[in-house]
Amino acid sequence: MSERLPKQSGGKKPLNKNQLLKRNRIRNARSIRAEAVAASSSKHASPSDLSESGGKLKVDQFMNSRQFEVKQLQLAMHNSKGASSTRIFQALPRKLRRRTASHNVRRIPKRMRNRALREMRKSDQQQTLKNSSASSRKTHGLNAKQLYRAKMSIKLLRLASKSTSMKLGMPLDITSSKCHVRQKIKSLKRMIKESSNPNSNIIRLNNRMGSYDTTGLNELASTPKGRIKYTKRQKHFAWLPTHIWNAKRSHMIKRWGYQVPWAPTQKCFKLTHRLGGDTCASDGALCLDSSHIGTIVVRDSNSDTKGEFLKSIIGKLTSGRASLNKYRRSQTLFQGLIYSFSENSPRPLGPCDIFWIQDDTVVLRLHPSIFTQVFEIFIQYIDKLTIQDCRYSLASITLKGAKALESLASCLRSTKHCTSFEQFKDTSKITDHAILPQRCTFAFEAIDPRHLAAPKKLNDSQRKTYSSDDILSLQVNYPQSEINSVLKQLCDPDSRTRSYNNQNTLKEISARRSELLATTPNHINKTTIPFKENSDPSIPLVIMRRPKTSDWIVMLPWFWLLPLWHQLNRIPRVYHIGLRQFQQIQYENEQLYFPDDYPFTQLGYVENSFYKREASKTKWDRKPKGKKINFERVKDIHHTQLPAYKGEIGDFFSSDWRFLQILKNGLDYLQCDDKDLKLMDSKKTGQFGDQGIRIINCLNDVLEFHKDYETKVTAEPLPVEENVPITLCKLSKCQTPPKTINSNTSSLDLSIQPRCTIAISCRFLERGHPKDNARIYRISEEHLDHWMQVAEGVYRSNGRKDHDLEIPLPEVHDLIGFITSGTYHLNSGNGMGIGFIDHHSAIQQSARYVLIRNVGTNIYRLAKWSEISV
């Protein structure tokens, strides 16, 4: 008989049988049994052992007497954790939860399937059969409905061209010649014929998977043709090899001609910090499909000069860095900036990776936004160089974390014995990759990753430890000849095409595994399909360590990436990430991320001033009026309120580098010849010269000039590539010193002459954290003593730090830079931001302290900055 609630319950429904069972199960799980003190006490224990009257407590006897209660407490905590999970699908981790798992038993781990089947039988739930949807339709050619429509279309076209009554019923302008009836009938017949022989359209290929090499030789490569079903979706934005896999698990963005994963759908900020950061907590790996990074293979056509012309071109592109023997002869990966070919002042385009295969062959990995510009530079020397556009023929995976090499070693097997693969096996056991040498490259020919039924660690019982001598052997016994032979195959279109020879389909892989399981009695060999040298394909593959970013790059042919990706993501503690997580890793390592943290380049300036600005402004516009900040009414931002600006200064939704350029150039103009700085002139209004140019007499005029400039640019936009407001230089020495600002300088030069800036990272010394586009101010000499006391700490009488001090406000002209990426740093436990400050202002500072203020606020935080080497 079911239990009923009393009448005073407010008329609630009585609990049914299942609800009562669930309530009792939770109560039993949370109940903690206790043991009487008399029963637990020992024979020789005195009554005062457990007394609270001030007697001496014997800890060991007390713990032994309470041992039963401690075990019951742990048992209750364990039972209560899973008491509310009534179904096995509710006990799955968040990564494996899917809506389809509620009826498809194959979507859950094998260890849970028996219990899931029992629960499904108990509830009479229908089970999903394997390949039930795939077996109901044809996988090749036309299905029955499409074949019927094609045949009926041919009959109707023939009838319409012969029947006089149908011709009279049609409009006069519609005739057989104008409608191309014969061509349409031929195309329909061809379609029906191809559907009867589904392999007729891929006879020219050497595999049944449809894999082919798409390389542009001395020209830009065409976008690879995917399935006809997705042709319209790939018309303007190419798909990466893992697009369909990532589209189900990540947020995708369309940028730079690709559809790239932006971030996983699940929360992964802390996970990325633990696994991808340089911490001891990393016990896994993060992987990113980085095939959107374009690859160019350049070879010197003149073999007699030993690549001297190619050396000069690479040296000119990288300001003489990548052509050094350290990178050219020793095969060390170069990471740095690449510059345009400008005779007067070469402009930085962005970061790049350069790897020399031989003296006359080099591989460049470039961001897709600057790929075309660099390719056009090489095309100018087409008579001396051979250029390959390998954007769609070479794919890559970026891995980060302690188990990056171990996870790769679980998926890859070499086709034959080679020194590089043996070194890779030994190095995969190392979790601290910082101890490895700067030149750490592995290259070998691998078998199809699908030959492994599941990723499996390499069993090497002979090697249990890895000493310092083994690390040195990576440099001494570097197998350069083996690595060069594999790299030549990887950079040759014909070799990449041969790697697809006899590429097996999933059905053929399954058939070979079933045959192996049926014929092979040895259980050890049942998991791996043996490699047949005469028929099975071999994959040229290279694994390179990038010392600057401390991650690993795996490069292989385009259509071999997806099999490796599937195996890689089956390994426990290996998670996929997107561009957002890669930016987080760069931020935590205090490194710049392209293009967000590169405002001194054309692409970085456009990213900040247009794309990110429009996104922030659109988000602000969508908010209701009562919930969005009115930037023009923010009070107490600066000590002196100038008439030119009310509230926030500069652009509200971006880092206004144009404002910084005009402000700092205007300050140099007003203070030239040791003049005193005048903030504003209350006796005069704005004055203009003969040509309508504003006359600069005080700081307020400089701010008014900036407003005039923004109005002019809005009406007539200027070319971005010719007017980037800032340049990058080093703190010790300015690479591109600006022209001297003197009294003869025209006010137009304030917006033309770029400002030299340095890249810095700012760490907060107090609470709070910076946000993107936060303003950076210098500390004036009269306020320096106050902020130095704040840096040391001002404490109250109770010993706690005082955060409610009255702070002196800076002036408008104390602005020296902006934060490009800022948030809370999980590793250091405080706020940190990456930004740029004016070079001239940084030199004049006696202490490396700055003030940071987020946009739309009047709260200043003290931070200490350090320079970032680019």
Domains of the chain: which residue ranges? 17-122, 144-197, 270-290+399-575, 294-389, 614-867
Partners of residue 822 on adjacent β-strands:
833
Q: Residue for token digits 């946000």? A: 771
The pLDDT, as a whole number, for residue 695 is: 82
Cβ contact 443:483 at 8 Å: yes
The pLDDT, as a whole number, for residue 460 is: 60
Residue of 136, 579, 593 whose CA lies nearest to 350: 593
Note the pLDDT tens digit of each residue in 379-400: 999 999 999 999 999 999 999 9
Question: Phi and psi for 853 in degrees, rounded to 5?
Answer: -130, 130
The yes-or-no verdict on residue 404 having pLDDT over 90 is yes
The pLDDT, as a whole number, for residue 132 is: 44
470-478 CB contacts, 8 Å cutoff, 24+ apart: 470/426, 471/435, 471/436, 471/437, 473/423, 474/423, 474/427, 474/436, 474/437, 474/440, 475/437, 475/439, 477/419, 477/423, 478/439
595-599 CB contacts, 8 Å cutoff, 24+ apart: 595/350, 595/367, 595/369, 596/820, 596/821, 597/759, 597/820, 597/821, 597/834, 598/348, 598/350, 598/351, 599/655, 599/657, 599/726, 599/820, 599/836
The pLDDT, as a whole number, for residue 521 is: 63
Q: What does pLDDT average to over the chain?
A: 85
Q: Report the phi/psi class of residue 627: left, alpha or beta, with left for phi > 0 and alpha for psi in -120 to 50.
A: alpha
The pLDDT, as a whole number, for residue 36 is: 61
Summarize the confidence of residues 148-155 as an average pLDDT: 85
Partners of residue 761 on adjacent β-strands:
834, 866
Rounded CA gap, 403 and 619, in Å? 39
* Confidence band of 129 (pLDDT split at 50, 70, 90): very low
Of 78-92, 107-121, 124-138, 187-201, the one with minimum mean pLDDT is 124-138
Six token digits for residue 274: 């633990």
The pLDDT, as a whole number, for residue 29 is: 76
Rounded CA gap, 153 and 188, in Å? 8
Percent of residues, the chain, with pLDDT higher than 70: 85
CATH code: domain 294-389 is 3.30.70.1400
- Which H/E stretch holds residue 263? strand 258-264
Residue of 851, 785, 781, 787 whose CA lies nearest to 819: 851
Residues 6+ away with beta carbon under 8 Å from 123: none
Note the pLDDT tens digit of each residue in 466-486: 777 778 888 888 999 999 999
* Sign for the pseudo-dihedral over CA of 513, 515, 516, 518: positive
Rounded CA gap, 684 and 697, in Å? 10
CA distances to 449, 567, 869 from 523, in Å: 20, 21, 55
* Confidence band of 233 (pLDDT split at 50, 70, 90): confident
Note the pLDDT tens digit of each residue in 254-311: 999 999 999 999 999 999 999 998 767 889 999 999 999 999 999 998 877 788 999 9
Rounded CA gap, 599 and 660, in Å? 13
Q: How do 285-289 and 574-576 pair as beta strands?
A: parallel
Q: Residue for token digits 């005195």? A: 46
Q: Which residues in 696-717 are b (16+ Cβ under 10 Å) and which e? A: bebbbbbbbbbebbbeeeeeee
- Please give the single-letter amino acid code of residue 395: A
Summarize the confidence of residues 436-452 as an average pLDDT: 93
Note the pLDDT tens digit of each residue in 788-800: 999 988 888 888 8
Q: Which one is predicted more confidently, 731 or 737?
A: 731
Six token digits for residue 284: 């896994």
Q: Which one is predicted more confidently, 745 or 317?
A: 317
Summarize the confidence of residues 404-428 as an average pLDDT: 93
The pLDDT, as a whole number, for residue 31 is: 76
Rounded CA gap, 75 and 243, in Å? 45
Q: Which one is predicted more confidently, 125 or 505?
A: 505
Rounded CA gap, 328 and 323, in Å? 6
Note the pLDDT tens digit of each residue in 524-561: 555 789 999 999 999 999 999 999 999 999 999 999 99
In 376-479, beta strands by DSSP E: 385-389, 394-400, 441-446
Rounded CA gap, 182 and 157, in Å? 9
Summarize the confidence of residues 45-74 as an average pLDDT: 70
Taking the mean position of all CA atoms in its chain, how far away is CA 176? 56
The yes-or-no verdict on residue 693 having pLDDT over 80 is no
Residue of 576, 503, 604 whose CA lies nearest to 240: 576
The yes-or-no verdict on residue 502 having pLDDT over 80 is yes
The pLDDT, as a whole number, for residue 126 is: 59
Strand order in the sheet with 238-239: 238-239, 258-264, 250-255
The pLDDT, as a whole number, for residue 3 is: 46
The yes-or-no verdict on residue 488 having pLDDT over 80 is yes
Six token digits for residue 381: 């020397």
Rounded CA gap, 838 and 658, in Å? 12
Percent of residues, the chain, with pLDDT higher than 90: 50
Partners of residue 295 on adjacent β-strands:
365
pTM assigned to the model: 0.81
The yes-or-no verdict on residue 206 having pLDDT over 90 is no
Of 528-537, 610-619, 717-726, the one with minimum mean pLDDT is 717-726
